[in-house]
Structure 1
Amino acid sequence: MLKKFETLIALDKTDRKILDHLQKDGSLTNQQLADKVGLSPSPCLRRVRALEQNGVIVRTATILNHKKLGLALTAIILIGMDRHTPERFAAFEEAVSAYPEVLECYLITGHDADYMLKVVVPDMDHYHHFLLNQITRIAGVSGVHSSFVLRRVLDNTALPLGYLS
């Protein structure tokens, strides 16, 4: 869960270059990264460690191809809650955090929903089972609207760093 108030970290041009390269390829060795950003390995590693310690780099992940693993169905689920209390929201967030099918969960505004989930499952039968036996059984869920992804047009994990000064 995100902290209520995050401290902003000042980044210089070299930090932004490091982050840009790591977002594109997190498997770069320190030597490869240092070469790409124009540093020697020791200062490059110190900068990466500082970015990790300051919470700018949260973790390194490997992106998998859903379909090649048999996870062909991606659903976006809008969830309405019966009561808008901190306890109800905390219980919902704890429950969905335990489901490996849920890749993303957002508390949202601007819709007739309180949460938006991104879910990946093998097929419609699995989705139906997941929806009826897990999501709708969470205390406080009062409405569910599902949409299904037909095609990924853009699937990017990299943050745009070019506008940072």
Structure 2
Amino acid sequence: MSVDRADLDRFDLSILRVLQTEGRISAVELARRIGLSKSPTQARMKRLEEAGVITGYRAILDPIRMGQAHVAFVEVRLSDTREAALTAFNRAVLLVPEVEQCHMMASSFDYLLKVRTSDIQAYRRVLGEVISALPNVASTSTYVAMEAVKEVF
């Protein structure tokens, strides 16, 4: 079952807005906030889950308290961009725990990675020993983040 944005009414959008910031809210409190009773609210949540609009619930950890305050964005250029090379890079980058996000780009470079480590020395090790050794990596450029102004999880 698929749901298009046009199929989402104001109640669905309200549910999604609340759940994005408060995933552990009770169904009763969620229903109260969006102006429906509990049963229709739960039915809508179930429909949104089954349609894949809601893909799961998780704990959001504070990376700074976890000792992972250093954030760098890395442009990656590949030496080969044929499908097999892209697939090899995609599979390998999934196994790197320090890579928080990986996006294939339509740009002068091929991928943009968000890498989180404890400090610049740890980042240097990850870049030199792990990222640069990923399949088909030709070059990288790093941009160190000084402050996160807005992050949506």
TM-score normalised per structure 2? 0.93
- Superposition deviation, residue 129 in structure 1: 1.1
The one of 81, 90, 95 aligned to 2:92: 95
1:86-109 Cα offsets, whole Å, 9 max, x none, are 111111011111111111110001
- CA offsets 1:46-66 (integer angstroms, 9 cap, x no match): 100100100111122222221
CA RMSD of aligned residues (A): 1.4
Name the SS of the counterpart of 1:68 in structure 2: coil
The number of aligned residues is 151
Asked whether the 8 Å contact 2:3–2:51 carries over to 1, the reply is no
**Partner of residue 29, structure 2:** 32
Secondary structure at 2:71's aligned position in 1? strand
1:126 partnered with 2:122:
yes
Q: Distance in 1 between matches of 2:124 and 2:88?
A: 22
Mapping of 1:84-163 within 5 angstroms? 84-110=81-107, 112-157=108-153
Checking the alignment, whether the CA contact within 8 Å between 2:92 and 2:135 is kept in structure 1 is no
Any idea what SS the aligned residue of 1:69 has?
A: coil
The one-letter amino acid of 1:143's match is S
Answer yes or no: is the 8 Å Cα contact 2:73–2:145 preserved in 1: yes
Runs of 4+ in 1 over 4 A off after TM superposition: none
**1:41 corresponds to which letter in structure 2?**
K
Aligned counterparts of 2:135 and 2:8: Cα–Cα separation in 1: 43
1:69 equivalenced with 2:66 (yes/no): yes
Structure 2 gaps of 5+ residues are none
CA-CA distance at 1:7 after TM superposition: 6.2
Partner of 1:18: 15
* Change over 3 Å in CA distance of 1:8–1:92 after alignment to 2: same
Query: Are positions 1:55 and 2:48 aligned together?
Result: no
Contact 2:78/2:137 (8 A) holds in 1? yes
Q: What residue ranges of structure 1 are gaps of 5+ in the alignment? A: 1-5, 158-165
Structure 2 Cα separation of the partners of residues 44 and 62 of structure 1: 22
Structure 2 residue matching 1:118: 3-state secondary structure:
strand
SS in 2 for 1:79: strand
| SS of alignment partner, residue 40 of structure 2 | helix
* 1:8 CA drift (Å): 2.5
Distance in 1, matches of 2:79 and 2:30, equals: 50
